[in-house]
A = this chain, B = another copy of it.
Amino acid sequence: MEKILFLLGLIRTAGNMYGYRINELIDSHFGVIVSITRPTAYRLLEKMAQDGWISFREEQIGGRPPRKIYSITQEGERAFQRVLRESLQSYSPSEYSSPVDMAFLSALPCEEALPLLNARRDRLRGLLQALDESRMHEVGFELVFEHQRRRFETELVFTEEVIGMLASKKAGQ
């Protein structure tokens, strides 16, 4: 439902949206907040069109496959409202699965665990930077980017704490 909400909301909010462009946007800006691959995006668009949530007109440019430019229908708008409400009030279970790997840190010697966690920390720093770079202030996604920044920061702080614990444990021995 999350991916559908994103796609539907995007089409609803911005005009002139077609598959290829949506996928470009995801690659360049929104990949840090939603994960939708190209075939999935196409398939969901197709499905929503079948279900009558969105309609499209074709825009032919030269001899390539025509762009399918989508817009939301009345029924789609109803669906959007429904899904949005549902999503806002709940906090769905699939999202809150925590990286369980920390439970088994003790299975590794400190000398091995530390570089691995350092790699994770670096990755998180990279994600934070990528987030700042692709932040779009214009369209109304500010809240989501801010939300994601908080999340990454929480992850980063926690990872750094664990690294600190391991390091002091190592030093103590």
Contact with B along A84-113 (1 / 0, CB 8 A): 110111110111111111111111100011
A124 to B88, CA, bound (A): 12
Q: Which of chain B's residues have a CB closer than 8 A to the CB of A124?
A: 91
Query: How many copies, total?
Result: 2
Contact between A33 and B100, CB atoms less than 8 A apart: yes
A112 to B85, CA, bound (A): 9
Q: Which of chain B's residues have a CB closer than 8 A to the CB of A81?
A: 107-108
A97 to B87, CA, bound (A): 14
| CB closest chain-B residue, reference A31 | B93
Contact between B151 and A97, CB atoms less than 8 A apart: no
Known: A2-B99, A97-B35, A154-B150. Contact between A104 and B120, CB under 8 A? no
A170 on the interface (CB 8 Å rule)? no
Helix, strand, loop or mixed for chain A's interface? helix
Listed residue (A32, A90, A91, A154) with the most chain B CB atoms within 10 angstroms of its CB: A91
Contact between A148 and B89, CB atoms less than 8 A apart: no
Contact between A107 and B120, CB atoms less than 8 A apart: no
| Partner among B34, B97, B117 whose Cβ is within 8 Å of the Cβ of A2 | B97
A43 on the interface (CB 8 Å rule)? no
| CB closest chain-B residue, reference A87 | B101
A94 to B116, CA, bound (A): 19
Known: A5-B104, A88-B101, A107-B81. Contact between A96 and B148, CB under 8 A? yes
**Which residues of chain A have a CB within 8 Å of any CB of chain B?**
2, 5-6, 9, 12-13, 32-35, 80-81, 84-85, 87-91, 93-108, 112-113, 115-117, 119-120, 123-124, 127, 140-141, 143-144, 146-148, 150-152, 154-155, 157-158, 162
